[in-house]
Structure 1
Amino acid sequence: MSASAFTLNELRTVLLEAAGTDEDVDLAGDILDTDFEQLGYESLALLETAGRIERTHGIALDEEALADARTPRQLIDLVNTHLTAVATA
């Protein structure tokens, strides 16, 4: 389990490993508030991404909260909330 904060760069890496990327999408750009669908990631790709995050960080993300995380910023905030809760437990 990692004690450090989950970052946009880490999310980019996990997205690429889990589902690759559409050639028309620049993940290196300002994507924090871009909807995952606009980035080319549908629900199955996001489930794979979430699974990798959970395994790497030893957390369990709530399925409803995960479904509500429509942008990278929202997913990063969700992961960091869980990491904080685990660290303080």
Structure 2
Amino acid sequence: MEQQEFTLADLARILLDAAGAVEGAAFDEGIVDAELEQLGYDSLAILETGSRIEREYGITLDDGVLVDARTPRAVIEVVNAHLAARAA
């Protein structure tokens, strides 16, 4: 099975679908280490994003894993680790 890669563009798309656009939040490489809450996404938006990621990518994220992954980079790393484990 070919391993998928979860990217910043994927995260941006899913966040927009889950929570809508946040004024002033531009998803480019410059924000990968900014905290999601500072970008305007609250815990409910992050949980909904996690649910959508699970459905779309066929993975199960541990409870609270996205709450602990506070930046886009951390979310991307967590999702890619789960995708790699599934592919193994």
TM-score exceeds 0.5: yes
Q: What is the DSSP-based 3-state SS (H/G/I as helix, E as strand, rest coil) of the residue aligned with 1:37? A: coil
Q: Is 1:46 paired with 2:46?
A: yes
1:7-58 CA-partner distances (Å, limit 9, x unpaired): 0011010011110122222224611000001110011000110001000010
Give unmatched runs, 5+ long, in structure 1: none
Q: Per-residue deviation at 1:4?
A: 1.2
Task: State TM-score, norm by structure 1.
Answer: 0.90
| Contact 1:21-1:40 within 8 A present in 2 as well | no
Q: How does 1:1-89 map to 2 (within 5 A)?
A: 3-28=3-28, 30-88=30-88
Counterparts of 2:33 and 2:11, CA distance in 1? 13
- After TM superposition, the runs of 4+ consecutive aligned structure 1 residues lying more than 3 A away are none
Task: State TM-score, norm by structure 2.
Answer: 0.91
Give unmatched runs, 5+ long, in structure 2: none
Identity of matched residues, %: 52
How many positions carry a matched residue from both structures? Answer: 87
Q: What is the DSSP-based 3-state SS (H/G/I as helix, E as strand, rest coil) of the residue aligned with 1:38? A: coil
Counterparts of 2:41 and 2:59, CA distance in 1? 22
Superposed CA RMSD in Å reads 1.4
